[in-house]
Structure 1
Amino acid sequence: MNIAELKLEYDRSDMYGVISNMPDQIREALKLAEDFSVEIDTESISNILFAGMGGSAIGGDLVRSILENEFELPISVVRNYNLPEWAGETTLALVTSYSGNTEETLSAYKDAMEKGCKIICITTGGKLLELANNDKVPVLIIPSGLPPRGAIAYCSIPWLLIFASLGIIKNRSNEIESMVLELENVIKEYGNYDSSQDNLALSIAKRVVGKIPLIYVSAGSFGVIGKRWANQIQENAKMLAYTNELPEMNHNEIMGWHLTGLSKESILPIFIISSSYHPRVNLRFDITSKLVEEKRGEVVRISPKGDNLLTQLFSLIIMGDFISYYLSLLNNIDPGPVDIISELKEQLSSKN
């Protein structure tokens, strides 16, 4: 079966449409944030903390990646039931739960209230909206009906505009709008599965089938990409996938490429390389990928599209999303359902 036939057979939740709709989601996220008003005394803020899980938390990772080289305040992302002990009255806690019912995030929200943090929430509804309304905490309500992992723009873009409205970063609306135009071309390229057209996302997916992908990125702003790619492959294609960062990988994991006890055909290394990396990191990528290629015999090297960090990050997100999507079809699996996660949540809720 070709991709068009596999799509018709297995994509019952229209994950293709969710991925392809990213530019419109970004535009809608911009509009929602522009219409959202919040007043917070920013003079006393000493740190910013995102609280969330899964697809909701990745938005915090993305915002931190975009801002970490221009932002003076430390930014943390917490994926847990409790906030760090240092969180308190000078912490701006940004709580995101797409469903509004994520138990870890609800617990983190309550902890933020107890610690006296300044809080803003993003959600579609659920218990988080109810708690925030009762506590008179500002809430940005975003559209429902998506899988949380498909709402990354709703869970990231608004924070950039909210920060700008609070006067703690520059307004990036024009930059975001320009990026959207570029992303539309990215989607046309990676979303075109006609066999007569070159499609790097589909080509990589075909190379990954039957293997465990190991995704390598630079520490810093691109760490979110490794996490996003691995998570999307895990949830959409129902496959194991892992990520690591250079230069740290050069001090330990590189020794694992002796592949003792493993066949070299079982793992596919993917190196995401950007001109935005530190020059010495790029040198490490060049040397490391060649050393791994000698051991493995096959590696994938990828460079992002775009001439600025924002565009490079979102173009890589779209590429990784399409890779995971095509992998799901090639694995004869509907990318939408996450049955084991649902079963886990049911068993947890029965223990309350």
Structure 2
Amino acid sequence: MAGDELLEAVRFLPDRVRDVAVAASDLEGLPAHDAVDRVAVIGVGGGRVAADVIESLAELVAGVPVVATGGRCPRWVGPTTLALVISTWGADQPTLAAVDAARAAGARLVAVVPAGPLEQHCRELGVAVVVADTRAGPAAGLGVTLVPALVLLERLGVMNGVSRAISATAHQLETRRAALAADRRLVEEVAADLPGRVAVVGGAGAIGKHAARRWVQRLDRAAGIPSVRRRLPTDAVDAATWHRLHEHTSRGVAAIVLRHGLEPPGSTDGLHLLETGLAAYHEIRAEGEGALAQLLDLLLIGDAVAATAHGLTGRGDVPITGHLNTSEADTGGDAP
């Protein structure tokens, strides 16, 4: 994989977000939703990542419980359940099985999936489908599955304020894309500190957790940088886990802290404990209005850093055009 391929995919993300939002807003054949009292978001690998993010965002604005169920159809799924199916691969067998189980339980279904066997199966069952092009890589793939899913949840009466959030997200991604094209010092400085070191990435709250998980995966797979996620320290005991890793690594730890405007109170009080004693320390600050905009802004920067680091290491073996099909357990040592 060439680093410029990754950067090229990053450049297309804002347009993809807008296009897929329109497709979801125009989708016909949505199920009736007058009696929906819960939502099961079904998906594995990249679909599960998107489902987890949707669950976190829904806590802020949804009127009914929204639960990421992985590749399972829980026993509580029934006629008053909306089953939202998400896939970044399009042929995941656990998701196919869960779709059949949800249909058998009488759930109302809608799907956001790429073209392929899962899409065809959903259409055969009469399920309304948004076809998402996830070939542009993990960050782009997450954006083009998240956005239509959120649009559908708003249309089905589950969430409010989605249209404004998507508009703000598209604007921020376009702004960030232009900024990265004009000045690459931010990504170059971070990338330069990574070769030969372990990248330890952390972030506060749901946005920080999901963004850090994605950074870890991209650095590891696209640039060959050993990477792990750690919870941000609130005291010296927490910070010691970062420093111990640094002490037992030949060239030490490069700490990357992902900041955003929705950090829980007190969650960043211990950051000063990381500013010294490690090989490198970087803070990346998200911009944009709202949780979705700031999350995808961090992912966009992460892809750019991974592309630049790849150019320095010549390592990394996941093509940007490949489908993301990883579970949380595959993201480079996700830690609490």
TM-score interval, smaller chain: 0.7 to 0.9
Q: Does 1:83 align with 2:65?
A: no
Map Cα deviations across residues 314-338 of structure 1 (whole Å, 9 max, x no partner).
2111111111121222111366538
Contact 1:100 1:124 (8 Å CA) reproduced: yes
Could you say which structure has the larger radius of gyration? 1
Contact 1:65 1:224 (8 Å CA) reproduced: no
Contact 1:202 1:322 (8 Å CA) reproduced: no
Which sections of structure 1, spanning at least 5 residues, go unmatched?
Answer: 1-8, 345-352
Q: Does 1:203 align with 2:189?
A: yes
- Deviation of 1:139 after TM superposition, in Å, equals 1.4
Letter of the aligned partner of 1:189 in structure 2?
A
In 1, the alpha carbon distance for the partners of 2:139 and 2:302 equals 12
Q: Does 1:257 align with 2:238?
A: no
In 2, the alpha carbon distance for the partners of 1:90 and 1:239 equals 46
Contact 2:168 2:290 (8 Å CA) reproduced: no
Contact 1:214 1:270 (8 Å CA) reproduced: yes
- Deviation of 1:290 after TM superposition, in Å, equals 2.1
Query: Are residues 234 and 47 of structure 1, via their aligned partners in 2, closer, same or farther at CA, if it must alter by over 3 Å?
Result: farther
Query: Are residues 21 and 137 of structure 1, via their aligned partners in 2, closer, same or farther at CA, if it must alter by over 3 Å?
Result: same
Query: Are residues 229 and 37 of structure 1, via their aligned partners in 2, closer, same or farther at CA, if it must alter by over 3 Å?
Result: same
Equivalent residue, structure 2, for 1:3: none
- Deviation of 1:140 after TM superposition, in Å, equals 1.4
- Deviation of 1:253 after TM superposition, in Å, equals 5.0
Letter of the aligned partner of 1:95 in structure 2?
V
- Deviation of 1:26 after TM superposition, in Å, equals 0.9
Equivalent residue, structure 2, for 1:230: 216
Equivalent residue, structure 2, for 1:152: 142
In 2, the alpha carbon distance for the partners of 1:46 and 1:164 equals 14
Which sections of structure 2, spanning at least 5 residues, go unmatched?
Answer: 327-336
Query: Are residues 258 and 97 of structure 1, via their aligned partners in 2, closer, same or farther at CA, if it must alter by over 3 Å?
Result: closer
Query: What SS does the aligned partner of 2:61 have?
Result: coil
- Deviation of 1:174 after TM superposition, in Å, equals 4.2
Equivalent residue, structure 2, for 1:217: 203
Contact 1:215 1:272 (8 Å CA) reproduced: yes
Contact 1:329 1:335 (8 Å CA) reproduced: no
Equivalent residue, structure 1, for 2:332: none
Contact 2:3 2:308 (8 Å CA) reproduced: no
Q: Does 1:286 align with 2:269?
A: yes
Equivalent residue, structure 1, for 2:315: 333
Q: Does 1:35 align with 2:20?
A: no
Q: Does 1:315 align with 2:302?
A: no
Query: Are residues 142 and 308 of structure 1, via their aligned partners in 2, closer, same or farther at CA, if it must alter by over 3 Å?
Result: closer
Query: Are residues 233 and 109 of structure 1, via their aligned partners in 2, closer, same or farther at CA, if it must alter by over 3 Å?
Result: farther
- Deviation of 1:161 after TM superposition, in Å, equals 1.5
Matches within 5 A, 1:1-352: 10-11=2-3, 14-80=5-71, 82-143=72-133, 145-147=135-137, 150-192=140-182, 197-246=183-232, 254-259=239-244, 262-263=248-249, 265-281=251-267, 285-287=268-270, 289-296=271-278, 298-333=280-315, 336-337=318-319
Letter of the aligned partner of 2:163 in structure 1?
S
In 2, the alpha carbon distance for the partners of 1:270 and 1:125 equals 36
Measured on the aligned residues, the alpha-carbon RMSD in Å equals 3.1
Query: Are residues 188 and 239 of structure 1, via their aligned partners in 2, closer, same or farther at CA, if it must alter by over 3 Å?
Result: same
Letter of the aligned partner of 1:126 in structure 2?
G
Letter of the aligned partner of 1:190 in structure 2?
L
Letter of the aligned partner of 1:323 in structure 2?
V
- Deviation of 1:142 after TM superposition, in Å, equals 2.6
Contact 1:99 1:148 (8 Å CA) reproduced: no
Map Cα deviations across residues 226-264 of structure 1 (whole Å, 9 max, x no partner).
1221222233223332223347x8697544235176037
Letter of the aligned partner of 2:242 in structure 1?
W
- Deviation of 1:169 after TM superposition, in Å, equals 2.4
Equivalent residue, structure 2, for 1:348: none
Query: What SS does the aligned partner of 2:77 have?
Result: coil
Query: Are residues 177 and 329 of structure 1, via their aligned partners in 2, closer, same or farther at CA, if it must alter by over 3 Å?
Result: same
Query: What SS does the aligned partner of 2:111 have?
Result: strand
Letter of the aligned partner of 2:2 in structure 1?
Y
Question: Number of matched residues?
Answer: 324
Query: Are residues 302 and 138 of structure 1, via their aligned partners in 2, closer, same or farther at CA, if it must alter by over 3 Å?
Result: same
Point out the more displaced range, 29-38 or 96-105: 96-105
- Deviation of 1:25 after TM superposition, in Å, equals 0.6
Equivalent residue, structure 2, for 1:349: none
Contact 1:11 1:336 (8 Å CA) reproduced: no
Query: Are residues 35 and 341 of structure 1, via their aligned partners in 2, closer, same or farther at CA, if it must alter by over 3 Å?
Result: closer
TM-score by length of 1: 0.80
- Deviation of 1:141 after TM superposition, in Å, equals 1.8
Map Cα deviations across residues 203-223 of structure 1 (whole Å, 9 max, x no partner).
111112222212111133432
Query: What SS does the aligned partner of 1:39 have?
Result: coil
